[in-house]
Structure 1
Amino acid sequence: MLVAALVTLCAAAATAAVGTWSLLRRPSTDFVQQVLRAVAPTQLAAAVMLAAGGLLALAVGSRQGPPAAVILLVCVVGAVATVAAGCWQAAKMVTRENARKAASSGGCGSESACGSCTLSCGR
């Protein structure tokens, strides 16, 4: 249980570092950088979950064997699911925003671009 707790705490530190790094970077117009910046708060939440699970596993140690392992597993699965949901939501949000910008700047969706467009947008 000690090894699992230490690995979880290292994962929490790495996740928090990546999330903080993404938040401290200057906003970019690159799609990938926008998604990474939008996922940063979710990464910080996952880091808190991982840290809580790791600290609990360290505190309980091997005295409580299976219950501590179950709690640690729940924290890890919760953190992974949180980041996955955050990635999905951030990608949807950034895609929607980029499509809105493209439509307002004469890109796809405007009358002038319909001649070469292969999408069926109804125009």
Structure 2
Amino acid sequence: MSIVAVICWCAAVAFAGFGVWLLTRPRSADPARAVLRGVAPTQLAAAAMLASGGTAALSSHPDTALVVVVVCVIGAVGTIAAGCWQAAKVLAIRQPSPSAGIGDCGNACATCTLSCG
């Protein structure tokens, strides 16, 4: 279980380091960077889960430690997935549709057809 603990701690340090790096970068108008910055808090939460799983791997009975590590890893992956989903959803809501700026007619097809045509 010591190998599992070291792997969990290394993954926790990697997630935490990348999350802190993203949070310390200046805000950007680039949508991809905005999504990455939005995922940074969930990366920090996943790092905490992985660190606790690594600690449990060394301090618990091996059967219990295995269950705790599996739960922590699944929780970390689920947290990152949910954070990515939420950040992408917010970005999709904020971005205008591709046809919104064509001819300055508005968002409806009927408006464009009747007023710009």
What interval of TM-score do these two structures reach, taking the shorter chain for normalisation?
A: 0.7 to 0.9
The amino acid that maps onto 1:28 is S
Matched positions, count: 110
1:108 equivalent in alignment to 2:105: no
Q: Give the fraction of aligned pairs with identical amino acids, expressed as a percent.
A: 47
1:94 Cα deviation after fit: 1.3
Farther-moved stretch of structure 1 (13-22 vs 51-60): 51-60
What does 1:60-99 correspond to in 2, within 5 Å? Answer: 60=60, 64-99=61-96
Query: Which whole-Å CA distance do the structure 1 matches of 2:48 and 2:104 have between them?
Result: 47
- The corresponding residue for 2:29 is 29
1:13 to 1:112, Cα distance in 2 relative to 1, 3 A: same
How many angstroms apart in 2 are the aligned matches of 1:121 and 1:12? 48
C-alpha change, 1:121 and 1:75, in structure 2 (3 Å) is farther
Q: TM-score, with normalisation over the residues of structure 1?
A: 0.80
Structure 2 length as normaliser, TM-score? Answer: 0.84
CA distance in structure 2 between the partners assigned to 1:12 and 1:92 by the alignment: 26
- Residue 58 (structure 1) shift: 1.6
Structure 1 runs (4+) greater than 3 angstroms displaced: 120-123
Per-residue CA deviation, residues 20-50 of structure 1 (Å, 9 max, x unaligned), is: 0000001111111110000000100111111
Change (3 A) 1:19 1:113: same
Q: Which amino acid letter does the alignment assign opposite residue 75 of structure 1?
A: C
Alpha carbons of 1:122 and 1:67: their partners in 2 closer, same or farther (altered >3 Å)? farther
Structure 1 unpaired stretches of 5+: 115-119
